[in-house]
Structure 1
Amino acid sequence: MGLIDGILGAVFGGGRNVLVDTAEVFRVNREAESKRAFQMHAAAMASHSAEFTRGGKGWFDGFMDGLNRIPRPAMALGTLGLFGAAMVDPVWFASRMQGIALVPEPLWWLLGAIVSFYFGARHQAKGQEFQRSIADTVARTPAVVENIGALDRLRSDVVGVAETGPDAVLEKTATKSGENPALEAWKQSLT
């Protein structure tokens, strides 16, 4: 018996498993590989999410964000105002349009470039904000899945939801019939 204990102690003793250690030289430990892959994925998601968070914005950033929101509504409302002015006072509108007709063509090109760059930059900023929201959503997915699982376990239509388990007192209390005034009234109405 001592010989067998000595051999088994040499192979499996000391908190090590010589067979597993030897096998891992030739073949990857799948559990450790899965842990590494999970940690790498979690770190990549955290890095991606941190890249798109809005942490540390001050009053100036908020002011500039508000200022950046002005041009589109101003252009839309200004165009509608011009239509209204054309209907209310056509002579005034026509005189203003004659002034616009005198604007040189290079200035129109410059205006077109400025508006194009503004809307292009706005489109890019909105696209990055969309990516940020996707990263946040993906980062919250495990918690949502866990919450859905917890809610599913609370459903009353699942088989065995009222199972008392080994608790004898709970089973006796659950199966004890009590008074039911509605049932008694119904029984009385039948007789």
Structure 2
Amino acid sequence: MGLIPTVMSFLFGDNRNAIVETAQVFRENAENGAVRDASARTDSLTQLAAEFARPQRGVFDRIVDGLNRLPRPALALGTIWLFVAAMQKPAQFAEGMQGLALVPEPLWWLMGAIVSFYFGARHQVKSQDFQRAVVQSLAVSKVLQAPKGPTNDNPALSDWQMKNGE
């Protein structure tokens, strides 16, 4: 066997490519790097979506959630009712307001704190639900739009991917 075939089989034989293997020590393989990046993004978004996942809610949870929705409409309708009561029965309305004027100030502070904490907690729960929905939709869209690397413009690879169902 001659010198050139021996060198060529040394460099490219046994389904190896010594030049490519040597070059990959100094420079990352761009295609493999793109695949790793896409996989890392998908994994991190999946993990984030799983962190915000809520287990299936039971009957009790749904009933309590329904009860939690009552105070805001009750406050709004109660305020409107006060205006109606003031117009229909001014004397009774004035007596009721005098009774409210006798409530001590610390009790008003306590009532304000309770209402503020209730609505603040409710706002936080709804905000977290919104963030959870955004993360889940983002995870789905990122998984569906994950890049396949810098080889998308390669016609031979595109044909091979179509034939192999990728």
* Fold equivalence (TM over 0.5): yes
**Structure 1 equivalent of residue 12 of structure 2:** 12
Would you say the 8 A contact 2:42–2:142 is kept in 1? no
Question: What is the aligned-residue RMSD (CA, Å)?
Answer: 2.2
Aligned to 2:107: 107
What are the residue-to-residue correspondences of 1:37-56 with 2, within 5 Å? 37-56=37-56
Partner of 1:29: 29
Structure 1 residues not aligned, in runs of 5+: 146-191
How far apart, CA to CA, are the structure 1 residues paired with 2:80 and 2:134?
36
Q: Which residue of 2 aligns with 1:126?
A: 126
1:44 CA displacement? 1.1
* Contact 2:52–2:132, Cα closer than 8 Å, also in 1: yes
Aligned to 2:79: 79
SS in structure 1 of the partner of residue 57 of structure 2 = coil
Judge which range, 22-31 or 105-114, deviates more.
Answer: 22-31
Q: Which is greater in Rg? A: 1
Moved more, 8-17 or 22-31: 8-17
Residue type at the aligned position of 1:83: F
Deviations 1:22-68 (A, max 9, x none): 11111122211111111110011111222223332222221221121
Distance 1:69 1:2, change over 3 A: farther
Q: Once the 2 structures are TM-superposed, how far is the Cα of residue 15 of structure 1 from its aligned partner?
A: 2.6
Cα displacement (A) at 1:72: 0.8
Q: Distance in 2 between the 1:127 and 1:10 partners?
A: 63
2:163 aligned residue: none
Q: Which amino acid aligns with 2:138?
A: V
Q: Residue type matched to 2:66 in 1?
A: G
Cα distance between partner residues in 2 of 1:114 and 1:91: 30
How many residues align? The count is 146
Partner letter of residue 12 of structure 2?
Answer: F
Tell me the percent identity. Answer: 53
Match in the other structure for 1:162: none
**Which letter does structure 2 place at the counterpart of 1:41?**
R
- Of the two structures, which has the highest relative contact order with CA contacts closer than 8 Å and spacing of 6 or more? 2
Contact 2:53 2:132 in 1 (8 A): yes
Residue 57 (structure 2) pairs with residue 57 (structure 1) = yes
Post-superposition CA distance 1:135-162 (Å, at most 9, x none): 23323335877xxxxxxxxxxxxxxxxx
Secondary structure of 1:22's aligned partner: helix
Unaligned runs of 5+ in 2: 146-166
AA partner of residue 133 (structure 1) = A
Equivalent pair of 2:85/2:93 in contact (CA under 8 Å): yes
When the two structures are superposed, what TM-score results if normalisation uses the length of structure 2?
0.77
TM-score, with length taken from structure 1: 0.68
2-structure distance, mates of 1:67, 1:3: 87
| Corresponding residue number in structure 2 for 1:96 | 96
Question: Structure 1 residues 74 and 2, CA, compared in 2 at 3 Å: closer, same or farther?
Answer: farther
49-58 or 102-111: bigger deviation: 49-58
What whole-Å deviation, never above 9, does each CA across 1:4-29 have from its counterpart, x for those lacking one? 33322221222322111111111122
